[in-house]
Structure 1
Amino acid sequence: METLKQLTGKNLSLWLSGELSEVKPEQHPLLNGKTAFLTQRLNLQQTFQHPNFRRQTQNISEEAAAFTTIKRFYSTNQVLETLVEFMSDYVPVPLYSPADWARADYDKVIRNNVLGTYPKLLAQLSLHPAMLYFLNGQTNTAVQPNENFGRELLELFSITPEAGYSEKDVLNVARMMSGISFSLIDFQTRATPSEHFFGRISVQGFTHANARTSDSKVILGRAQQMINHLAKQPATAEAFSIRMARRYLNDDPSPDLIQAMKSTYIKTSGSIPGVLTTLVAHPDFLATPTVKVKRPAEHLASTVRALGLEISENLLEDKFENGVLVIDALKLVLAILNQQGHLPFDWDTPDGFPEHASAWSTFGGQIQRWNMSTKLSQHNLKNIFSEPDLDREILGYSTMDDLVTRVSRRLLSSPLRAFDQKEIVGLLTKNLNKQLPDQQLRERMSRMAFALVMATEEWNLR
């Protein structure tokens, strides 16, 4: 509702520019400067060495998932959150990995740089300990090159197979990244010269003599140059644009839209907000019919926001077990997302959660989402969420038809299709119990109206 008010009377591109120009202060008790999430107050070394996490590193990953979920529910920076999720799927590290102690910090790097350029962000993520451990960078040496990261860098994170890279390209990426690891002594990414390959490197137009040196920073700088080169290629610009358009629009974006986004990417050296702004400003954005279903986490977050729900526990009274923040209700939320196959970061392969609509359009998945929105609107999950926020604008309805109109305006900012409106009004009328006190009846019917409107196609699509 707040976003709708902000948009009223504004140009969409102008509003988006404001959303992407700066990060607004968070207001929610779990997100503001006094956040109880310990990983948000500590740096990577402090987190790793903290007694609360030292022998329970999985708690770091779990807290990262919980923090991200709260961000999606209550952040004042909604557009930013969608970009963070997009980049987390683009260059992913699983929730649980050999470096789960670094998972929360990996998320911080994305959040702190998502309003910058993709080449810069990709270079940072490629050398981050979470990625080095996930794709075997720690074991990549000149004598025994490990091509895992090199292959994914070319196939998924930059130019993609459409560019026609070769096996030699993969090997040369591995060679340039050889000897690079993360030290748990000084908590720095460094290169060990004795384990690094020296000699000429050539990858997709990038060439470097790669002369022998004993300087770790020089080796790291060369690796960053290679990654930066790959990330600025036209093939990467096109792949990035296609994937972003598929996330925000549909599975088959028009060539004209992709060309516009690609041009912006090249012109701005890969500005992430710049490419998104081009997408939203393009005629296709408003003209394209909404066809993609909300992914489970997106569906849950939008329902929580629309109903004005709060996590049911008192968030101002931090609850800790062994020094680790515990919110029982939030644990249940994460269990729900896990059951629906969309727990934050919990995707084991480097391609990230699927973009295409069919992956999230199964009948079973849709039933789960319908059941969840019904339970939330009916306040049937009292141990997790507060009551729906039924304000005067909703409760002041005059007829069932008026009620459905008010609810659809709040949820969809537009009327329902005439057929859906008639069907929902009919169902509400059949369940109208006039023996209830007026206030109780109004609340009951309003909750039922929310559940029914949330079962429509319009609510379940992006």
Structure 2
Amino acid sequence: MTASRKTKVPSRATLHALQRLTAGYTPALRQQVEAAGGFTRWFDRQLTGGYDDRWYAQTAAWWTSVNATPAQLWQRDRDDVEGLWRADANYQCWTLARRIGSQRQVLETMTDFWEHHLHVPANGEVGPFRTSYGKTVRAHALVKYADLLEAAITHPAMAVYLTNANSSKRAPNENLGRELLELHTVGRGQYGEADVKASAKILTGYRVGLWTDWAFSYDPAQHWTGPVTVMGFSHPNSAPDGRPVLAAYLGYLARHPATARRIATKLAIRFVSDTPPAALIGRLAAVYLSNDTAIVPVLRALVASPEFAAARNVKVRTPAEDVVATWRALGVRITRAPRNGMGEDETGANEILWQTTGLGLAPFAWQRPDGRPDSAAAWSSTSRFLASLDVHYTLAGGWWPKQGLAYPAARAWLPKKQVRFAALVDHLARTIHGQPASALLQQVAREATGCRAGEVITPKHRIVRWEMARLLTVFLDSPIHMTR
């Protein structure tokens, strides 16, 4: 294969950005960037909604619970049609399917980020509200954090999870008031116990009919009234309807310099490294504050930073990221939706959830309110690595899942009818990794398959007929694929 016919790859800088901002490199993604006129224009279109969102609506229709109202979900549970835990599992499947095929990759990436920052588990314990919560977060994922924070904190899913659902003026529950300060905004060291108590009082008034009708409402008679002070925020809080006070309080917290640094730190950890430079955090926090908590300017500043450009292949993929990136790298296509809309059959759109579970963590299955960890140490155990190897091999062979999916035929990986083994390895590296094969990768491929560099591979060669899965796992098990 001559140099002129080699599979095209993006620049190193573009590849790095795509690996961080999307669910994984694909040749189609490279073509989308080229069609946009380069990475900068592509990124701008991603941030401003320039790509169609049909995959979001199309996949939502695959599971009945995704488009059902909370009242409908509760009725289905009562009628033994579909349990609340199954509805949450369907939501988890939907988020994975969205990340595999969405044209709005940056939006899906940021939705995932915020759903773990403003974490609510998807395990049935928040009643019929988890899917609604995820949709709410996605709708605010690229706007202002002040708006996102208010939408999340006042959502019934958050109220149920952090026991604010029936917090009253006689007995204010401090769980949400504390986590709002510790996890969602300013962080530890910025407040005291008196601030937590006042925070809880401001949050009183919301009601949920737990395990009866799950009706969500606001009852002014249950709102604690009287002067409140939280850090530098003070309010007479004299009206029975405390929602305006809460809105002002959440706006204050969202715009606090400590919140700016916390959001900047988490974004830097997510998109740069586990130990991001303090200078970068300071600059991002300044952009956040000067743009009134708008998220897009912060993302632009982050991606344009030299720290971002220098931090290649240092972030370890989480279980869900590994599975989704593997589907994308292998070109696995979902060809059939779940049959009955309840997630009960063994189609690939459902089975992908159990793949992520087998790697150590399904989406939004983290039990603590601090959200899934985002460090290499959390996802670099021997057991996790071995589990990944198994998933890579079964997917590369097209052995599981099998229903409702289309895998590329083994011969489809050949760039032409006859190709030297070394050229095939380079083609696969360019297709799967988005970059040419290194000398080390060539060596590993030869050792894994027993092929010589100059050996001619045809559709009748043993590699194509029986052993393509073994060759493909050389690329999937590589640190290049396991990191982003």
TM-score scaled to structure 2, two decimals? 0.85
Q: Is the 8 A contact 1:62 1:95 kept in 2?
A: yes
* Of 295-304 and 178-187, the range deviating more from structure 2: 178-187
SS in 2 for 1:355: coil
Q: Does 1:258 align with 2:284?
A: no
Distance 2:313 2:463 in 1: 35
Q: Does 1:319 align with 2:345?
A: no
Deviation at 1:445, TM superposition (A): 5.5
Q: Deviations over 1:425-451 (max 9, x none)?
A: 343344999999627754655543321
Does the C-alpha gap of structure 1 residues 459 and 186 become closer, same or farther in structure 2, counting only changes over 3 Å?
Answer: closer
Matches within 5 A, 1:93-242: 93-162=120-189, 164-182=190-208, 189-213=216-240, 216=241, 219-242=242-265
Specify which of 90, 98, 101 is matched with residue 71 of structure 1: 98
- How many residue pairs match? The answer is 451
SS in 2 for 1:181: strand
2:290 maps to which residue?
Answer: 267
SS in 2 for 1:263: helix
Q: Deviations over 1:395-438 (max 9, x none)?
A: 42611100110011112221233222223134334499999962
Q: Is the 8 A contact 1:158 1:236 kept in 2?
A: yes
Deviation at 1:387, TM superposition (A): 2.3
1:448 maps to which residue?
Answer: 470
Does the C-alpha gap of structure 1 residues 23 and 199 become closer, same or farther in structure 2, counting only changes over 3 Å?
Answer: farther
Q: Does 1:280 align with 2:303?
A: yes
1:459 maps to which residue?
Answer: 481
Does the C-alpha gap of structure 1 residues 39 and 269 become closer, same or farther in structure 2, counting only changes over 3 Å?
Answer: farther
Distance 1:436 1:62 in 2: 43
Q: Is the 8 A contact 2:177 2:200 kept in 1?
A: yes
Q: Deviations over 1:263-322 (max 9, x none)?
A: 2211222222332222111111121232121111101101101111134xx516x521xx
Distance 2:81 2:151 in 1: 25
Q: Does 1:43 align with 2:69?
A: yes
Distance 2:141 2:323 in 1: 23
* Amino acid aligned to 2:206: I
* Amino acid aligned to 2:479: E
Q: Is the 8 A contact 1:334 1:343 kept in 2?
A: yes
* Of 58-67 and 401-410, the range deviating more from structure 2: 58-67
Q: Is the 8 A contact 1:31 1:71 kept in 2?
A: no
Identity of aligned residues (%): 25
* Amino acid aligned to 1:413: G
Does the C-alpha gap of structure 1 residues 276 and 391 become closer, same or farther in structure 2, counting only changes over 3 Å?
Answer: farther
Q: Deviations over 1:185-232 (max 9, x none)?
A: 99875432332211111112111000143xx3xx11211211121011
CA RMSD after TM alignment? 2.8
Q: Is the 8 A contact 1:48 1:54 kept in 2?
A: no
Does the C-alpha gap of structure 1 residues 361 and 449 become closer, same or farther in structure 2, counting only changes over 3 Å?
Answer: same
Q: Is the 8 A contact 2:169 2:201 kept in 1?
A: yes
Deviation at 1:357, TM superposition (A): 1.4
Q: Deviations over 1:114-142 (max 9, x none)?
A: 12111111111111111111111023222
Distance 1:271 1:44 in 2: 30
Does the C-alpha gap of structure 1 residues 440 and 55 become closer, same or farther in structure 2, counting only changes over 3 Å?
Answer: closer
Distance 1:24 1:47 in 2: 31
* Amino acid aligned to 2:102: S
2:30 maps to which residue?
Answer: 4
Does the C-alpha gap of structure 1 residues 53 and 61 become closer, same or farther in structure 2, counting only changes over 3 Å?
Answer: farther
SS in 2 for 1:138: coil
SS in 2 for 1:137: coil
Q: Is the 8 A contact 1:249 1:288 kept in 2?
A: yes
Does the C-alpha gap of structure 1 residues 188 and 18 become closer, same or farther in structure 2, counting only changes over 3 Å?
Answer: farther
Distance 1:270 1:394 in 2: 49
Does the C-alpha gap of structure 1 residues 98 and 326 become closer, same or farther in structure 2, counting only changes over 3 Å?
Answer: closer
Distance 2:465 2:275 in 1: 42
Deviation at 1:339, TM superposition (A): 2.3
SS in 2 for 1:383: coil
Distance 1:407 1:346 in 2: 34
SS in 1 for 2:52: coil
1:409 maps to which residue?
Answer: 430
Q: Is the 8 A contact 1:7 1:15 kept in 2?
A: yes
* Amino acid aligned to 2:144: T
Distance 2:459 2:46 in 1: 44
Q: Is the 8 A contact 1:13 1:277 kept in 2?
A: no
Q: Which runs of 5+ in 1 are unaligned?
A: none
Q: Is the 8 A contact 1:230 1:236 kept in 2?
A: yes
Matches within 5 A, 1:276-425: 276-311=299-334, 315=336, 319-320=339-340, 324-329=342-347, 330-381=349-400, 383=402, 385-388=405-408, 394-396=414-416, 398-425=419-446
SS in 1 for 2:317: coil
Q: Which runs of 5+ in 2 are unaligned?
A: 1-26
Q: Is the 8 A contact 2:45 2:51 kept in 1?
A: no
Q: Is the 8 A contact 2:47 2:142 kept in 1?
A: yes
Distance 1:443 1:279 in 2: 46
Distance 1:427 1:198 in 2: 70
* Amino acid aligned to 1:387: Y
Q: Deviations over 1:153-178 (max 9, x none)?
A: 0100000014x211111000001112
* Amino acid aligned to 2:174: E
Q: Deviations over 1:340-371 (max 9, x none)?
A: 22211111111011112100011111111122
Deviation at 1:59, TM superposition (A): 2.4
Deviation at 1:11, TM superposition (A): 4.4
Deviation at 1:54, TM superposition (A): 7.3
SS in 2 for 1:342: coil
SS in 1 for 2:269: helix
Deviation at 1:459, TM superposition (A): 1.4
* Of 446-455 and 41-50, the range deviating more from structure 2: 41-50
